[in-house]
Amino acid sequence: MKIATRSSKLALKQVEIFTNQLKELDLNFEIKKQLTEGDKKSKQGENLFDKAHFVEDLETSLLNYEADVAIHSLKDMSCHDTKGLEIYAAIKHPSRSDVLVYKNEINPDDLTNIKIGTSSLRRKRQCKHFLNNKNCSEIRGNIDTRLLKLHEGQYDAIILAKAGIERLELNENYIDLNFLPAIGQGIIAIQCRSDDKKTKTLLDHIKNLELLKMIDIERKIIRHLNATCNSALSISSKIIGDTIESDIEIYGEEEIISEKLISELSAIDKSIKNLVTKIKGRGGLRLLDENY
pLDDT in tens, 65-100: 999 999 999 998 999 999 999 999 999 999 999 999
Active site residues: 75-76, 122-123, 140, 146, 229
Nearest to 101 by CA among 164, 197, 175: 175
Assigned fold of 98-177: D-Maltodextrin-Binding Protein; domain 2 (3.40.190)
pLDDT number for residue 41: 54
- 49 pLDDT band (50/70/90 cuts)? very low
CA nearest neighbour of 162 among 76, 118, 70, 99: 99
Q: For the chain, what are the domain ranges?
A: 2-92+187-207, 98-177, 223-289
Judge contact between 229 and 108, C-beta under 8 A: no
pLDDT at 232 over 90: yes
Q: Are 217 and 268 in contact (CB under 8 A)?
A: yes
User: What pLDDT, in 10s, does the model give residues 81-90?
Assistant: 999 999 999 9
pTM: 0.92
Residue 282 identity (one-letter amino acid): R
Fold of 2-92+187-207: D-Maltodextrin-Binding Protein; domain 2 (3.40.190)
* H or E segment and range at residue 289: helix 284-289
| Average pLDDT of every residue of the chain | 92
DSSP string, 21-78: HTGGG----EEEEE--HHHHHHHTT--SS-GGGGTHHHHHHHHTTS-SEEEEEGGGS-
How far from each other are the two terminal CA atoms of the chain, in whole angstroms? 41
For 246-283, write each residue's pLDDT tens digit: 999 999 999 999 999 999 999 999 999 999 999 999 99
Number of alpha helices (DSSP H) and beta strands (DSSP E) in the chain: 10, 13
Helix ranges (H only) for 104-243 are 121-130, 143-151, 162-167, 197-203, 209-224
Radius of gyration of the chain (CA): 19
pLDDT at 229: 72
Task: Encode pLDDT of 102-116 as tens digits.
Answer: 999 999 999 999 999
Residue with the larger pLDDT of the pair 206 and 292: 206
Ramachandran angles phi, psi of 78, nearest 5° = -65, 155
Instruction: Please give the CATH number for the structural domain made up of 223-289.
Output: 3.30.160.40
Q: Count Cα neighbours of 260 within 13 Å in the Cβ-side half-sphere.
A: 4
Q: CA 165, 169, 174, 176: dihedral to nearest 10 degrees?
A: 60
Would the CATH topology of 98-177 be identical to that of 223-289?
Answer: no
pLDDT at 213 exceeding the cut of 60: yes
Q: How far is CA 63 from CA 11, 50, 188, 204, in A?
A: 20, 21, 20, 21
Selection from 40, 233, 225, 202 nearest residue 122 by Cα: 233
